Amino acid sequence: MIRVLVAAVSMMVLVGCAGSADGKVAGHSLAVADAIFGTLKDTSGKNAGLLVVMADKPNLCDSLKANRRPKGATFVQFTLLRVSDNNEYLAPDVAEFTVKEGLAVFGKGNNASVEFDRQDSSCATTIGGSAGAGKSGLIKLTNVKAETGGSANATFDVTFGDGSLKGAFNATYCNLESLDRPNCE
């Protein structure tokens, strides 16, 4: 009886640990199974932004590092950029990021670009046009430690071309620097 109770409690703790996403985009919801993040580098190699991915498939980092992209995945991708008054990219840090559509994300301040997608069995997008593009919203990054064993935590509320998502991510660090274009597997 005690073993069953311990196993049940352990499973409850694991559920939702990567985050949550409430709402729908283009008629699709996202049951979060994993969340990872990596840094974006400028031409001199300095950290210049964060890339966060939440998906309904587990083991994202391992899959990507093995050059595999999961078939039939639903995911949301956040790109967070801090731009100085001199238009220099700054290292990611705890802050609020405003979701902007398209190229407007490159203006000064704390900016975010968000994309929601659902892929079919050949990894082709099933959400066309601007339906999955973030139009407005706010991401509140409360923690970021961009190193092996590190994490990034945030809450978000984003309106897309067709729908909205509200939730949180608890992403684990994944070194994305050496990744090629993964195969659909």
What are 164-185's pLDDT values in tens digits? Answer: 999 999 999 998 776 666 777 7
Q: Considering only 16-20, 22-26, 174-178, which range has the smallest mean pLDDT?
A: 174-178
DSSP 64-123: HHTTEE-TT-EEEEEEEEEE-TTS-EE---SEEEEE--GGGGGSSEEEEEEEEEEB-TTS
b/e sequence 73-92, b meaning 16+ C-beta within 10 Å: bbbbbbbbbbbeeeeebbeb
**Model confidence at 150: pLDDT above 80:** yes
Residue 12 in tokens: 């409850």
CB 36 within 8 A of CB 53: yes
Residue 87 in tokens: 């238009």
Residue 173 in tokens: 């660090």
Q: What number of other Cβ atoms are within 10 A of residue 111's Cβ?
A: 20
The answer to pTM > 0.85 is yes
What are 50-106's pLDDT values in tens digits? Answer: 999 999 999 999 988 888 888 899 999 999 999 888 888 888 899 999 999 875 667
**For residue 70, what are the contacts with CB-CB under 8 A and spacing of at least 6?**
55, 57, 60, 63, 185
